[in-house]
Structure 1
Amino acid sequence: MAENFKRRFQELCQQADAIEASKRFERQPLEGHFIDQNQLINWSVKVRHLLSAVCGPESVHLKQFVACEKTSMYLTNHGIFLKLRAVLDAAKEDYEGGYLNSLKLLVQAEVFDSELEQASELLSSGYVPAAAVTAGVVLEAGLREMCVDNALPIGKLDKMNADLAKADVYNKLVQKQITALADIRNSAAHGHYDRFSETDVANMIKEVQRILANRTT
């Protein structure tokens, strides 16, 4: 997935170079350089899609790109294109520098922490099975994100766990720990409450937090 995004950035930058090379000078209706409007629309739609996928639908990059798409009586469509190209270049630089991924991890960490806090509250209130299931959901979501980050297929927890260990994202010991945590989650989800204790779930929440925290270090 990461290589696909990197290649797409390069392709769209090359297309931008071709559009820039095709500019022409006109005096009507506004004096300045112009480009083919259909080419601009085609290119901008593809860039917008990439920014949404890589940076996020609420990212500053996408919002700035959309803002720059607005027409102006003082700018030719080439002038608008130059502003759009600047946003693409900024996003490409941030992506290749790893800054977008770092921000994404921080946001995900906040979400996971919030969910694990909920699991802890459920445990404190005596809802042990619910706490185990909640922690298990967070664990599976974290593995899913790890697979996306490492261009691995998303599947069932056991398959993702095996693939991540095989790809050396983490070692065999962590793989075994995740398998044990998944067993607690499955037992809770299927009503086998005699197979785990309150202490097991408390440790599970701590272990899930530790495993996912390693993604941001």
Structure 2
Amino acid sequence: MPLDPIVLRRFGELNTKAEAVLAAKAVEFVSTEGKPYYKVPSDRYKEWATNVLNLLHRTFGESSVHYKNFSEHYSKFEGWESHFSDSYGIFRAAREDYEGGYLFHIRTLAKAEVLSDALSQAKELLASGYKDPACILARVSLESALKDLASKFDVTEGKLDRMNAELSKAGAYNMAKQKQITAWAEIGNKAAHGDWTQYTAQDAAAMVAGVESIVADL
């Protein structure tokens, strides 16, 4: 998944702004040992920090570690250079995680967890003898999983059959897996259209297990 150029540019702008805040530091006092203690301009820090909070909130979310840590340090800021350095460190970590694609890894894990829940429901339905709704759930999960794979392999999202073929060409999986996915999709379509006698409970169980293995590899 490509990185947002606007977010990348904003991280760069705020990094430049942070360097300017640090460059404007001034000696507050000198200890008896001759060690200087610096403070940075409070107004410039708060302007920068507010911009960073807005970016972290929009990019990572209010519940993210980056946003929470930065917000906590911001609330305790008293002007000292060391306080600013702490905030700047959190900002740099957030930038590194974004540019390294870590944000999208987290989103993929979250999506995989949702799909795993859906497949758990499908298995419960199978165990209770309801193969048809189980196949419908598995079909939806299969398409969602292929969309996630498409974003990883620069394949344009679209209909399941086309994504399946293009993912195989892109090396996401081999031809045998492509044919198996086609078979699973057909079972899901039959379930959705009421052709329930066209497949068995064993077919349904194999489909759910197969889709589950794809989701596990996300």
TM-score, normalized by the shorter chain, greater than 0.5:
yes
Aligned partner (choices 54, 57, 69) of residue 48 of structure 1: 57
Aligned residues: 205
Higher mean displacement: 99-108 or 201-210: 99-108
Shift of 1:81: 5.6
What residue in structure 2 maps to residue 75 of structure 1?
Answer: 79
1:118 paired residue number: 121
Q: Which runs of 5+ in 2 are unaligned?
A: 29-37
Structural mapping, 1:80-159, within 5 Å: 82-94=85-97, 104-159=107-162
**Per-residue displacement from partner, 1:139-161 (whole Å, max 9, x unpaired)?**
12211222233444333322332
Q: CA 1:204/1:143 → structure 2, altered by over 3 Å: closer, same or farther?
A: same
The answer on 1:60 being equivalent to 2:79 is no
For 1:22 and 1:121, locate their aligned partners in 2 and report how far apart those are by CA, in whole Å: 59
Cα distance in structure 2, aligned partners of 1:158 and 1:81: 53
Q: Distance in 2 between matches of 1:107 and 1:21?
A: 35
Which residue type is aligned with residue 18 of structure 1? T
Q: Which structure's CA Rg is the greater one?
A: 2
Matched residue, 1:32: 39
**Do structure 1's residue 11 and structure 2's residue 12 form an aligned pair?**
no
Query: What TM-score comes out, normalization by structure 1 length?
Result: 0.74
The 3 A distance-change label for structure 1 pair 13 and 113 is: closer
* Gap regions ≥5 residues in structure 1: none
Q: Over aligned residues, Cα RMSD in angstroms?
A: 3.3
**d(CA) in 2 for partners of 1:142, 1:152:** 13
Shift of 1:134: 1.0
Query: Match of 1:203?
Result: 206
Length-normalised TM-score, structure 2: 0.74
CA contact (8 A) 1:128 1:201 kept: yes
